[in-house]
Chain A
Amino acid sequence: MARIGVFICHCGENISATVDCPKVSEVAAKFPGVAYSVDYKYMCSDPGQSLVVNAIKEHKLTGIVVSACSPRMHEPTFRRACAEAGLNPYLCEMANIREHCSWVHEKGDRTDQKAIDVVRMMVEKVKRNNALMSIKVPVTKTALVIGGGVAGIQAALDIANAGHKVVMVEREPSIGGHMSQLSETFPTLDCSQCILTPRMVEVAQNPNITLYTYAEVESVEGFVGNFNVKIRKKAKSIDETLCNGCGMCTTKCPQKKIPNEFELGMGNRPAIYVPFPQAVPNVPVIDRLNCTYYKNGKCKICEKFCQPKAIRFDQEDEIIEVAVGAISICTGFDVKKTDFFPEYGYGKHKDIIDGLQFERMASASGPTLGAIRRPSDGAEPKKIVFVACAGSRDPAKGIEYCSKICCMYTAKHAILYKHKVHDGTAYIFYMDIRAAGKNYDEFTRRAIEEDNAQYIRGRVSSIYERDGKLIVIGTDTLMNHETVEIEADMVVLATAGVANQGAEELAQKLHVSYDQHRFFSEAHPKLKPVETNTAGIYLAGACQSPKDIPESVAAASGVAGKISCLFSSSELTREPLIAFVDRIAAPDYSSCTGCFLCQPVCPYNAIEKEDIKDRAGNLIKSLAYINPGLCQGCGTCVAICKSKSIDIDGYTNQQMYSEVDALLNS
């Protein structure tokens, strides 16, 4: 016979101001099976919890209902109290009479009735709760870092330095990401590659880090602590163990006119190439789409000149399987290209470039070796216009958000331009200068005051070509909205930062959510900024939203901290609220008919086929079996099961039906 305890909390006045708590307690005492009922001012306080503990012991309770706030708030608290009193913690239920009752309804009989109904419903539920044991799962102490930009590098190094193994996967032939493309970084103007490349080398040399470049995540299965990841290592057509990075192949390749992706099309590269001189690893790849041998079946010049004989034309993609315990997504962002803007000529004017192209141009290792030159004729631009918020903060373009980094890098571009073209003038069209950050505002002031950047507050409506010049038509909102016309030699659009290509696909592989702009979603915008909603999968850097370098690095170290915590013990404890298939005695074994409708609906591939055999090994019956390690407890299989053979602890059919029954048959 059930002996249920009901504990009504006043929550100070939060509940008692609207709900008549003593009355609810009085009524609850008369519910069938209720052995004890009490109301108290603060049930979650120490004396409140002692009250619960003592009542469980004294009245030999077999289950409790705490009628207070949302279970999302204090369920763990009262489960602990149960455990302390020697009662199984899963024999505790919470009736939510604060968020769902006292805070949203007016004082009155109907509100009291609702509180009573909610308590009755939970009493009926808890009578049918099963005593459960939490599940222990082992943790594989290896982390997977997806993306080798600055965030990925930071996360990988921090995790590796904490003593754990790291597997890093990078899509491009080299790690480094967007940061390796930048010229100098705001607000200190230190050279981007000078600070990044030593970190890249550290990744390659760290014995705890296994690096796979030119590779992508193929599939992910499993759950926190126990992910199985398949990595597709694309064929580089090079034996990496033999290649010594001499670079002979790249100089001898007859294909020389392939637009260089790293230089954003402003330079050329051969078909066998390393993206940039400081690439890590310093191993070339053959671009099979453009290689003469793969196109025409003849050439193999690189093979002829390769002294270590490392070229492998017959190499195939390799699938590598790794077991990891945690995953960090550091896939970064992309920028909108100039062809996105009809008002700025759909990218057909050569002298209109985007911010990242300007970075390459200003970089000492870039296509112009650091000189600012018009892409059309190579002349030095004397008048240059920077357009901030190109695409960003523009609902008409589908990008409502602020791309965050453009105000700062545009100020930096104006400074760099002035340092390289002393007699030139830089105009900046802007909406607002958003320079929040340490030494950021000082930096933009410096652009205006020391380097004479001409800031014009207004938007640019159109840009067109006239006599080899670009006519920029804008408005100056601080000068009576007068139309401003500038005859510019070159225009740089600070185009919006957007989610990386393939973000959705990756999100679906990892079962993490993303927002309408395809940026990955964090579990909580304030309190869980680096976690995703999937346990064991974390986010760092600009794949979450546009971020600058210090923010990306901070988030990456945050992720490393989280993953190190996860790896600090060899076992994880999981809630046992998972689905199971019923079992009965022979000759039926289970009511499961083996239709396996449940298998395709399971998002976690947790449902397996189990064969029941007799002693001679003859198959008697095939049943569904739910792997408790994989099941996350969504219950979709429970609802789909035609023979009602599957049930889920914590939300069993008995519990749910009796809840509904209790609610309505008062």
Chain B
Amino acid sequence: MSEFQPKIVAFVCNWCTYAGADLTGTSRIKYSPNVRIVRFPCTGRIDYMLLTKAFASGADGIIVSGCHPNDCHYTSGNFYARRRWIVFKKLCDFMGIDTRRIVFSWVSAAEGSKWADIVNTTNEEIIKLGPYDSYHKLSTQDILE
């Protein structure tokens, strides 16, 4: 099982978490290379269909992260992201998507070490859960049946 290296996709906002991950770099704090960062202008832009798309395309875990509440560069985008996450989580439960594989967090532009922590803990967590084969192998045919 230790051979398993999960694929983790991180959907982050440009102003806080992307900058926070930049700070992790400038501070040379090491973290797992299993994560791939996708940059958005704001967490409010993140269409949660992208999350299901990511799972369908082979992701084992997903991180969504933006500015702390009240710190959004666009004032309120992160609040909409949070609301949508609450609803989406219920939908996931209904559809049988494992919500343990989705980590929702706030990382500010000053929290370089927090970003490294989140990636590392998510990585360990996903390694424990194993590959998300039950979703990856799901074909349209299965759904129709």
Contacts and interface: CB of A to CB of B under 8 A. Distances in A.
Nearest to A525: B110
Interface string A90-119: 000000101111011110101101100110
B18 interface: yes
A101 to B, nearest CB: 7
B31 A105 contact: yes
A72 B19 CA distance: 8
B7 interface: yes
B45 A99 contact: no
Interface centre among B21, B71, B74 (most CB of A within 10 A): B74
Interface in A486-515: 511, 513-514
Interface stretch (A250-258, A371-379, A653-661): A653-661
B24 interface: yes
B122 to A, nearest CB: 15
A663 B38 contact: yes
A506 to B, nearest CB: 14
Interface in B43-59: 44-48, 50, 53-54, 57-59
A242 interface: no
Nearest to A577: B41
A103 B28 contact: yes
B58 to A, nearest CB: 4
Contact of A657 (B24, B53, B58): B53
Contacts of A635: 40-42, 44-45, 77
A433 interface: no
Contacts of A656: 38, 40, 47, 50
A569 interface: no
A479 interface: no
A332 B70 CA distance: 21
Given A601-B80, A636-B74, A639-B44, A105 B22 contact: no
Nearest to B68: A513
A121 B34 CA distance: 15
B80 A640 contact: yes
B76 A104 contact: no
B29 interface: yes
Contact of A511 (B7, B53, B57, B75): B75
A359 B38 CA distance: 56
B40 A110 contact: no
Contact of A639 (B31, B32, B80): B80
Interface string A65-82: 000001110000000000
A580 B15 CA distance: 21
B137 interface: no
A101 B33 contact: yes
Looking at chain A's contact residues, the main secondary structure is helix
B38 A659 contact: yes
Contact of A533 (B46, B73, B76, B116): B73
B28 A110 contact: no
A660 B41 contact: no
B63 interface: no
A665 B58 contact: yes
A485 to B, nearest CB: 45
A104 B44 contact: no
Contacts of B22: 70, 72, 96, 99-100
Contacts of B77: 603, 634-636
Contacts, number: 133
Given A98-B25, A660-B38, A114 B44 contact: no
A329 to B, nearest CB: 16
A7 interface: no
Interface in A151-181: none
Interface string A630-658: 00111110111000000010110100110
Nearest to A109: B33
Contacts of B24: 99, 103-104
B82 to A, nearest CB: 12
B102 interface: no
A651 B58 contact: no
A584 interface: no
A104 B30 contact: yes
A603 B72 CA distance: 11
Contact of A118 (B7, B36, B59, B84): B36
A651 B14 CA distance: 11
A664 interface: yes
Contacts of A660: 9, 38, 50, 53-54, 57
Contacts of B54: 660, 664
Contacts of A117: 36
Nearest to B74: A634
Contacts of B21: 99-100
Interface centre among A98, A99, A648 (most CB of B within 10 A): A99
A104 B41 contact: no
B141 interface: no
A114 B41 contact: no
A601 B79 CA distance: 10
A105 B33 contact: yes
Contacts of A105: 30-33
B91 interface: no
A96 B19 CA distance: 12
B92 interface: no
Given A635-B42, A653-B47, A657-B50, A106 B70 contact: no
Interface centre among A72, A514, A639 (most CB of B within 10 A): A639
A110 B5 contact: yes
B74 A111 contact: no
Contact of B41 (A103, A121, A648): A648
B129 interface: no
Contacts of B30: 104-106
A663 to B, nearest CB: 5
Interface string A343-383: 00000000000000000000000000000000000000000
Interface string A615-638: 000000000000000001111101
B70 A634 contact: no
6 contacts: A634-B42, A635-B77, A636-B77, A639-B44, A639-B46, A656-B38
Given A118-B37, A634-B73, A648-B45, 19 more contacts: A103-B25, A104-B25, A104-B29, A104-B30, A105-B31, A105-B32, A533-B15, A603-B77, A604-B74, A632-B74, A634-B41, A634-B45, A634-B74, A635-B44, A639-B80, A651-B45, A660-B50, A660-B53, A664-B7
Interface of A: 70-72, 96, 98-101, 103-106, 108, 110-111, 113-114, 117-118, 121, 511, 513-514, 533, 577, 601, 603-604, 632-636, 638-640, 648, 650-651, 653, 656-657, 659-661, 663-665
Closest 4 CB pairs of A and B: A99-B25, A635-B45, A636-B44, A634-B74
